[in-house]
A and B are shown apart, each in its own frame.
Chain A
Amino acid sequence: MKMEFRDFNKISDYRWLLEKNKDRAMRVDAEIIASEDILKKAIEDASIQQVINVASLNGIIYRSLAMPDIHYGYGFCIGGVAAFPADSGIVLPGGVGYDINCGVRLISTEITLKEIIKHKESIGYLILNEIPTGLGSKKKFKFSKKDFLRIITDGAKEIIDNYSGLNQDLEYIESNGKLDFDSPGIISERAYERGRAQVGSLGSGNHFIEIQLIDEIFDEDSAEIFGLKKGNISIMIHTGSRGFGHQIASDYIERIRRKNINKIKIKDPQLIYAEISSNEGRNYLQALNAASNFAWANRHMIMEDVISIFEKFFKSSRKGLGINLVYDQAHNIAKFEDHVIDSEKRRVLVHRKGATRAFPSGHKDIPEKYRKTGQPVLIPGSMGTASYVLKGTKKAMELTFGSSAHGAGRRMSRHKAIKFSSNMNVREELKKKNILVFSHSNRGLKEEIPEAYKDIDEVIEVTEGSGISKKVARLIPLIVVKG
């Protein structure tokens, strides 16, 4: 059934509702948090059809949702959010994505622009040379299986205990950097093989380490609580669970398919699902937790390595440089959470694929320090544009299961981006904007040109306008190290 703009009911300038419709086999309504322009583009690129496919899934609660950075994925759209009953519902690996617990970490510093500006080149090269980046990047060492098991069981804490870091940082990582995992036997040898050499590596694609300038504060009180001061430098890390998570996702799509493909009716085979209470469902959720723990350990190790570079370069300690972890959050994950739906408190499994958790002030699952403000919501832009720090709101709890956007979202295919930038010296173009870019791959840089992404400012305007998060600070890139 063809989809048109007029099929949507406008709730407000930034909220659009598609009522459930038997002809589209929808079990619930679909809601898109978008401007009119973003919605029209989403209809064109077929990502709305993916939101509708999710709305047809068995047991889906409330609405099939899409965030302002919606774009076409496989199975779920990127920016998709959906919840199912924790006791009788389903779990979909396609609702999380292959890069399980891909996420963003933000670190504040007391280093000023003046102190870093002359050293941008040196710091960029040091990070590029010290942190494994790019295709199939691996650490110089491979963990033994015993040590690796500790990493996927204890997540970031294992890095702090046996590599480097501060215990106090755990509070500033979603779920304290660890989800319950105690079943090593449910993960394939292939996943272990791929993962053991990749802890502490950035990977390729849109993953990055960015040194940024905090250039605008929108909410002084919240920024102060987050430790963000105008004119200071921040560090942002974007990566996930690398080959370990990719292999787990592939393995479980296959295992669940083998069990269920002939039993269930789905519009897209990428939406294959298992009941949460089934062996396959339980095991996938356990494996997802292990991959999530890997990702938190990965981002923690990268952070520690970057801090070590800064300490050596500035000949000062992390305390002396005022380095603090602001927050670390996942944007590809499925988690059990409590939400109020139709005035009733329910335990649900929330799938966020390319969507960020945005819990409000007072929520028990956010750090004590942020209970007055709401949790930091980290939304990175492309390598030539600003990133934003927002805060979670009660509105997000009402509208989106406490979720928000996760980035700018691609608008150009990689192929088109390479063609578009064929005569462009990407490094030089960005240098003109005072951004130094470091990468082992010229092709990778061309694929990631800022023009390949949607306008981050529009995504932020919609995110704030809809009320699902509120702006706190803007960060502009100074040094970008790309995978």
Chain B
Amino acid sequence: MKEYETFPTTADVGIRIKGITYKDLFKNAIKGLNLLIFENETSSQNYNSPIIYPFDFKGDSLENVLVNFLSEVLFLLYSKNRMTIDINFEEVNENYLKADLVTFNLDLKPGIEIKSVTYHNLKVVEKKGIKYAEIIFDI
């Protein structure tokens, strides 16, 4: 499996991500989501004048943090027209994330409109020291 990839379900779509650390997992979640929305058409995106958005969420599990984190990235995209491309971590553990989201003004047209991040079948599993997760989006 790649570090991040997309997959279809009958009605919706998802991303599959992996990482050794929590940081890897969140970084790959951003990459996977951008791949899902923009496919490979990010070359014309202008990466000047970034704006940082703080994110601070304490949840009940890593799954809960991941859903809220991705919901934030989607809110910035569809409501503020900001594309998140990186994340600067302040603190991260299995149920907490404090970080800055690095965003740019969106030049591209998103390929799909995602309604929401779901918890459906979402479970972060660890095998041989690598964390894996599948996240399904409602579109």
Is A85 part of the contact surface with B, judged by Cβ < 8 Å? no
Cα of A99 to Cα of B11 in the assembled complex, Å: 14
Contact yes or no, B10 A190, CB < 8 A: no
Contact yes or no, B110 A136, CB < 8 A: yes
Is B138 part of the contact surface with A, judged by Cβ < 8 Å? yes
Kindly provide the distance from the CB of B34 to the nearest chain A CB, expressed in whole angstroms: 15
A204-B113, A243-B78 known; A75+B60 contact, CB < 8 A:
no
Chain A residue with minimal CB distance to B138? A98
Cα of A185 to Cα of B13 in the assembled complex, Å: 33
Interface flags for B56-88 (1: CB within 8 Å of A; 0: not) read 000010011001100100010011000000000
A74-B118, A98-B138, A190-B79 known; A416+B113 contact, CB < 8 A:
no
Partner of A72, one of B10, B112, B117, B139: B10
Kindly provide the distance from the CB of B8 to the nearest chain A CB, expressed in whole angstroms: 3
| A205 neighbours in B (Cβ, 8 Å) | 113, 139
Chain B residue with minimal CB distance to A190? B75
Interface flags for A182-214 (1: CB within 8 Å of B; 0: not) read 000000001001100000000111000000000
| A410 neighbours in B (Cβ, 8 Å) | 10-11
| B64 neighbours in A (Cβ, 8 Å) | 257, 261
Is A472 part of the contact surface with B, judged by Cβ < 8 Å? no
Is A249 part of the contact surface with B, judged by Cβ < 8 Å? yes
Kindly provide the distance from the CB of B30 to the nearest chain A CB, expressed in whole angstroms: 18
Cα of A410 to Cα of B139 in the assembled complex, Å: 13
| B79 neighbours in A (Cβ, 8 Å) | 190, 193-194, 243
Query: On chain B, which size bracket covers the interface?
Result: 20 to 34
Contact yes or no, A78 B119, CB < 8 A: no
Chain A residue with minimal CB distance to B60? A261
Contact yes or no, A135 B112, CB < 8 A: yes
Instruction: List CB contacts (< 8 Å) of B102-139 with chain A.
Output: 109-113, 115-122, 136, 138-139
A193, A203, A246 — most chain B CB neighbours (10 Å): A246
A204-B112, A414-B13 known; A250+B71 contact, CB < 8 A:
yes
Kindly provide the distance from the CB of B70 to the nearest chain A CB, expressed in whole angstroms: 11
Contact yes or no, B8 A135, CB < 8 A: no
Contact yes or no, B75 A135, CB < 8 A: no
Interface flags for B25-51 (1: CB within 8 Å of A; 0: not) read 000000000000000000000000000
Kindly provide the distance from the CB of A263 to the nearest chain B CB, expressed in whole angstroms: 12
Q: What are 9 A-B pairs with beta-carbon distances under 8 A?
A: A71-B10, A74-B119, A97-B138, A136-B113, A269-B120, A270-B118, A412-B10, A413-B9, A414-B8
